[in-house]
Structure 1
Amino acid sequence: MHIKEINPCFISSYPPKECGIATFTHNLFTSYHNLYAAAGKVVAVNGYLLQADYPPEVDFSFDKNKLSAYSAAAGHINASDLQVVNLQHEFGLFGGPEGRHIVRLLEKLKKPVVTTIHTVLQQPSLGYYTSLLEVVQHSRRVVVMSNKAVEILREVYYVPPEKIVMLPHGVPDLPFVETAYFKKELGLSGRFVLLSFGLLSPGKGLEQVLEAMPEIVRDHPDVLYIILGKTHPEVAKIHGERYRESLQKLVRENKLENNVLFVDRFVTYEELYNYISASDVYVTPYLSQEQITSGTLAYAVALGKVVVSTPYHYAKEVLAENRGHLVPFNNPKALAETLNGILSHQEDMQ
């Protein structure tokens, strides 16, 4: 099938901004650049970075909190030779109540827009409902990464089915390498490694695993739980390191100092690959059912890892048909039982 080459514009956060959507867009841009000569450009939304901080593909950046900057961004795109706009939408990326400032940019754009939606709330407040609906109305197509998101867009937001495209979350083409190799590289030989990754915030539910750990350690003292990632910048801005400190307090109270490792930084893609490859079980104990996509869960499944997760929307879909283990929300006992069961039958993981 012949695919017409176009010159796209990607509107998103972008490295060196440290967030999942910045990484997602960088991977998307790089993949497109590797396929086509017309690599397009990035228009980066930020709150503190200067234009000089960005790589060459970013030819315009604007302040997320200044409404007038959204009009300026639209003017820049309209005056360019860019043919189509791909907006990466997440409420927290943009300024205004429920991220409504982005609507100003969309209203002024004269180029067709395809929006990739990273959060689709099934039970939104009126503000979030209206905000997302306006974005959808200004988009020629919307892209989501799960069938559940398609269902919610159709049944809650009444988006016509012909306007929705479902594309599963992409993963890099990664080689399978023995876990033992990466454990040795990271100094983890002899440990059974559990891993959770992401920008830390209370919704991650990591305390649930820490509360399950004493029961796991009692039966399997060689287990090591790695919490990989720095505190989410927006959380840190308001609450500092309060959430991480609460997790560290749990570690001390449960005498888990030898069984929990915090890696407090935003890791590169290569480091993330190494840590996932070194892990035996990937754990996503999120507290909200509303999570509609998870790049790290997609990575872990692609690398053939055993996954234990709470039943948020994306996990239920990706881990269906016995592709992983689902445990109830807010249930450390069920987590402990499931993880102990896996640890007791390690031969089944091969």
Structure 2
Amino acid sequence: MPPQRNGIADYSAKLLQAMAPLHPCHVYCHDLAVDLPAGVELRDPAQAFRHLSGSSPILHQIGNNGGHVFALEALRAYGGVVSLHDLSLLYLYELASPRLEEILGRMTGPTGKMGQAYARHWRENRIKTAANYVLFDLIGEILALAKRVVVHSRYARNKIAAVYGSEASAKIDVIPHFAPVLSVAGQEVARAAIGYEDAVPLVLTSGFATKAKRFDWLVEALDELARRGTDFRWVHAGEERASEFDLSGAIASRPSLTGRCRITGYVSEEALDSYIAAADVVVNLRFPSVGESSGTLARAFAAGRCCIVNDTAAYAELPRDAVVHLPVFGTVPALADALEGLLTHPDLRAIFGERARLLAQTDLAMDQVARGYLATVANAYPPGRTMRAAAARTPPVAMRHRLAGTASSSTDIIRLGQEAGLKRGDFELELSFAGLDDFAELARSTPALLRKALPEHVTLDSVRFLAGSNGTGIGLSILGRSHTLEPTA
């Protein structure tokens, strides 16, 4: 919830404001210093057990940042309906998981050998690339524990079906991202509020300046536009993330953009409304997309702004007469041409803006979205039925299981080790060798043999030698714990 500086906090607050008049609501929030609508009670998540049972209807808001670790833990403890704001939760699990092996186990589930390879690189060489966050979504536990899951696009539902199958997708309800009622009315009022008195058309971007928002494309397109002689101003209403994309540096490298661009830094929700309403064109690019929706884009629809998006993922579902779609290949020249046409033809901007406003007032209306959420929660908790609570907060430790075998080659050891990692929980792998010399030869020929024998999602706790049966040979006892994809029921 606000004052946390992220879009899901704003989303949660506005959704609650629309739902509270329709149904009694209580809010569990990690931050207890928040403002809530009248009649809504704020509760401490640590005290949730005093109020909740298996039949208590619960709606979790879960996104891919540290503010939602406690919400993930609450889902594990109490079950419920999940509003899934991101289709990739790898970063959330990095913050929530005390052991790397648990993350690696979830990576190797739906993606098979590819997940195993990336997990091995991460574990053995500490190699983790940006591709991990696209390839491995780690939403399997959410899909297993949630009674229903809300996503904001058909693309998101179809992607889940493709990766996790029809059983998982049967839990999905598509409820679009709402378009809020803005705190400012009219472009002239908004421009006065932000101190923009220039008659030159204004291009706006907003939010965190991340790499996926393709500011590199926009900078190049605006540079081309300036060289063509088209006049404009560009404001980015949001914070830079230089570690992801050096927006200031990219602008500074283009002399044609000098004096045309401004980065505001973080702005309040009210100020953001003013910047959006003041703009002539709002640019909201995403590539590669993981199916996310944009709260600032929905605000732009509510303001009746002309918007430019990529023709990909969830954005491809937006009506063709409400936004300008750009291809994901050859985007820069297409973006330059689109901006030139829109900035020099106010009537064309107005047509797209009015269609966007109509979309905001119908399909994306706050009241309709709130009622959709309440219907989903009601369907997940049928009246007169007591719903079984979710897993305990601390999963029980599985009984230790033992595997034993005789190993005459490194292949035997690796095979037996892979079998040991199939079950969740503690295990003991016991190997027999003809003699100490045989074991020494295997260890010499295959460095790190025992670590290679265990899957990436296995923790190696201890290794000890055992006396062979009848005083011959030698044994090896390997103790460890397997962290698999499946949540403990």
The alignment's TM-score, normalised by the length of structure 2, stands at 0.55
What is the aligned partner in structure 1 of residue 49 from structure 2? 78
What is the aligned partner in structure 2 of residue 92 from structure 1? 65
CA change 1:223–1:209 in 2 (3 A) is same
The answer on whether the counterparts of 1:169 and 1:298 sit within 8 Å (CA) in structure 2 is yes
What is the aligned partner in structure 2 of residue 67 from structure 1? none
What is the aligned partner in structure 1 of residue 43 from structure 2? 59
Q: Which runs of 5+ in 2 are unaligned?
A: 89-109, 120-134, 351-489
Give 1:177 shift.
4.1
Instruction: Verify: 1:268 aligned to 2:271, yes or no.
Output: no
Q: How does 1:219-234 map to 2 (within 5 A)?
A: 219-231=228-240
Instruction: Verify: 1:326 aligned to 2:325, yes or no.
Output: yes
SS of the residue aligned with 2:234? strand
Paired positions, count: 299
The answer on whether the counterparts of 2:283 and 2:308 sit within 8 Å (CA) in structure 1 is yes
Superimposed CA distance per residue, residues 210-241 of structure 1 (whole angstroms, 9 cap, x where no aligned partner): 1111221234553111111124xxxx6xxxx4
Q: 1:150 aligns with which of 148, 151, 157?
A: 157
Give 1:282 shift.
0.7
Q: 1:24 aligns with which of 6, 11, 34?
A: 11
The answer on whether the counterparts of 1:195 and 1:226 sit within 8 Å (CA) in structure 2 is yes
CA change 1:302–1:242 in 2 (3 A) is same
Identity %: 22
The answer on whether the counterparts of 1:206 and 1:286 sit within 8 Å (CA) in structure 2 is no
The answer on whether the counterparts of 2:61 and 2:71 sit within 8 Å (CA) in structure 1 is no
SS of the residue aligned with 2:219? helix
Q: How does 1:154-303 map to 2 (within 5 A)?
A: 154-160=161-167, 161-174=169-182, 177-189=185-197, 190-231=199-240, 241-243=242-244, 246-255=246-255, 256-265=257-266, 267-303=267-303
Q: 1:119 aligns with which of 86, 98, 104?
A: 86
What is the aligned partner in structure 2 of residue 108 from structure 1? 77
Q: 2:29 aligns with which of 20, 38, 43?
A: 43
User: CA–CA distance in 2 between the matches of 1:278 and 1:116?
Assistant: 31
CA RMSD of aligned residues (A): 2.9
CA change 1:213–1:130 in 2 (3 A) is closer
CA change 1:55–1:173 in 2 (3 A) is closer
Letter in 1 for 2:151: V
Give 1:134 shift.
1.2
Give 1:21 shift.
1.0
Superimposed CA distance per residue, residues 115-174 of structure 1 (whole angstroms, 9 cap, x where no aligned partner): 0111225x9785876731111111111111111112222232225354221111112234
The answer on whether the counterparts of 2:209 and 2:247 sit within 8 Å (CA) in structure 1 is no
CA change 1:60–1:316 in 2 (3 A) is same
The answer on whether the counterparts of 1:292 and 1:312 sit within 8 Å (CA) in structure 2 is no
The answer on whether the counterparts of 2:281 and 2:349 sit within 8 Å (CA) in structure 1 is no
User: CA–CA distance in 1 between the matches of 2:80 and 2:265?
Assistant: 37
SS of the residue aligned with 1:292? coil
What is the aligned partner in structure 2 of residue 135 from structure 1? 142
SS of the residue aligned with 1:156? helix
The answer on whether the counterparts of 1:146 and 1:167 sit within 8 Å (CA) in structure 2 is yes
User: CA–CA distance in 1 between the matches of 2:5 and 2:208?
Assistant: 9
User: CA–CA distance in 1 between the matches of 2:182 and 2:210?
Assistant: 28
Structure with max Cα Rg: 2
What is the aligned partner in structure 2 of residue 15 from structure 1? 2
Give 1:34 shift.
3.8
CA change 1:43–1:84 in 2 (3 A) is farther
Q: Which runs of 5+ in 1 are unaligned?
A: 1-13, 45-50, 62-72
The answer on whether the counterparts of 1:191 and 1:224 sit within 8 Å (CA) in structure 2 is yes
Letter in 2 for 1:332: V
SS of the residue aligned with 1:309? strand
CA change 1:103–1:53 in 2 (3 A) is closer
Superimposed CA distance per residue, residues 236-294 of structure 1 (whole angstroms, 9 cap, x where no aligned partner): 6xxxx4456x22122222121311111111x2222121111101111012221323311
CA change 1:136–1:216 in 2 (3 A) is same
Letter in 2 for 1:329: V
SS of the residue aligned with 2:196? coil
The alignment's TM-score, normalised by the length of structure 1, stands at 0.75
User: CA–CA distance in 2 between the matches of 1:106 and 1:300?
Assistant: 33
The answer on whether the counterparts of 1:294 and 1:314 sit within 8 Å (CA) in structure 2 is no
Letter in 2 for 1:32: M
What is the aligned partner in structure 1 of residue 125 from structure 2? none
CA change 1:43–1:308 in 2 (3 A) is same
The answer on whether the counterparts of 1:285 and 1:329 sit within 8 Å (CA) in structure 2 is no
CA change 1:220–1:243 in 2 (3 A) is farther
Superimposed CA distance per residue, residues 62-118 of structure 1 (whole angstroms, 9 cap, x where no aligned partner): xxxxxxxxxxx4xx32321582221112233468xxx7x865543322xx5000111
Letter in 1 for 2:148: R
